[in-house]
Amino acid sequence: MFSSLEGFYGTGFAKPVNEFTADLSDSVALRVYSSTRPRNLKIASLQKGLIFVHEGMEQVGEGGGFGLPILIYEDETYFSGSSIVSVDHYGMTTRIFKEFLMDHVNRSSFMNVTLHSRKVRSVMRRLAELYQNNKRLQFLALRELSLSLGVESVYLKVPAVCKLLVCYEIKGQSVKVTVDYSQADRRGLEKVVVLNEQSGTFFRFYRDSTLPDFVDEIPAWERVTSQWACLLNPQRNIGYRLWDVENSSLIRGRESLADFLDWAGLDYEFLPRRSVFEYEIQFLGVNS
């Protein structure tokens, strides 16, 4: 593997596509779009990673998909609203390359008025951190209260600060994800986040290497301290597992609120010390 994905990506073997579906079994597949489809809920304008498909139905909800990068700077957080997708096959392996343009930022709005002030953004960020770090607040439906007060998040298009290239290497019932953030400006870059999120309605149960069985109560944000963790749909006997990766934090979370929130995920956070971040997703209960 190249120290940067640009080496292989630039060889011309990968062919551009607008949409691609990779079958893992007769009932399970992974799908990718160059557009922001499926445009669900408040993140409709943002790009997604790989989308989980079960029996022909996309089960991403409001999740960002598998392998979706986010850049968090001191004064701004950047998301992607534009991308280019290419696909390459060799043997039993499929490689999907997705080039994300980091061209959207988050703003809070109150009664449909977008709030641009840096001071307001700082306050909202502190509230978000309080929400994430306090389990009692998470289970008190703070998000529902915010919605009732007219406070919402919106995503605005801005000039792209960089592009991030992600390779999804699919083989059997696993995916190796390689995130190349070598083009990101390191000045003021606090951390990189890689989302692995699908529908919280579909993936409602959690288990890790310290638990004898799955549990159905998942906080909105909590660090995983076990060797591995997985999210499950026990009714359909399928799920996915991720492992602890050195020099990163694995975060579990789930939020489900009708017509507003629907995600569950195992996300990575890490400091931008390297140029490439790699990890593996294993799919459980997927029969070839």
CATH fold for the domain made of 6-284: Beta-galactosidase; Chain A, domain 5 (2.70.98)
Of the pLDDT bands very low, low, confident and very high (cuts 50, 70, 90), residue 140 is very low
Task: Check whether 150 has a pLDDT greater than 60.
Answer: no
End-to-end CA distance of the chain: 27
Q: Which helix (H) or strand (E) holds 129?
A: helix 118-133
Q: Return the pLDDT at 256.
A: 81
State the chain's mean pLDDT as an integer. 84
Task: Check whether 130 has a pLDDT greater than 60.
Answer: no
Task: Check whether 117 has a pLDDT greater than 60.
Answer: no
Q: Which helix (H) or strand (E) holds 106?
A: strand 93-110
Nearest Cα residue to 79 out of 4, 178, 154: 154
User: Using one digit for the tens of pLDDT, what is the confidence trace for 207-262?
Assistant: 999 998 889 888 878 999 999 999 999 888 899 999 999 999 999 999 887 767 89
Task: Check whether 194 has a pLDDT greater than 60.
Answer: yes
User: Using one digit for the tens of pLDDT, what is the confidence trace for 158-173?
Assistant: 999 999 999 999 999 9
Task: Check whether 9 has a pLDDT greater than 80.
Answer: no
Beta-carbon neighbour count of residue 121 at 10 Å? Answer: 18
The 3-state secondary structure of 20-33, one letter per residue = EEEECCCCEEEEEE
The three-state secondary structure class of 273 is coil
Nearest Cα residue to 284 out of 214, 211, 223, 194: 214
User: Using one digit for the tens of pLDDT, what is the confidence trace for 18-48?
Assistant: 999 999 999 999 999 999 999 987 889 999 9
- Domain ranges in the chain? 6-284
Task: For 204, list phi and psi in degrees, rounded to 5.
Answer: -105, -10
Residue 36 one-letter amino acid: T
Query: What is the arithmetic mean of pLDDT over 142-157?
Result: 62
Cβ contacts of 285 within 8 Å, gap of 6 or more = 236, 237, 238, 239
Beta-carbon neighbour count of residue 96 at 10 Å? Answer: 24
Answer for the pair 80, 99: CB distance below 8 angstroms, yes or no. Answer: no
**pTM of the predicted protein model:** 0.84
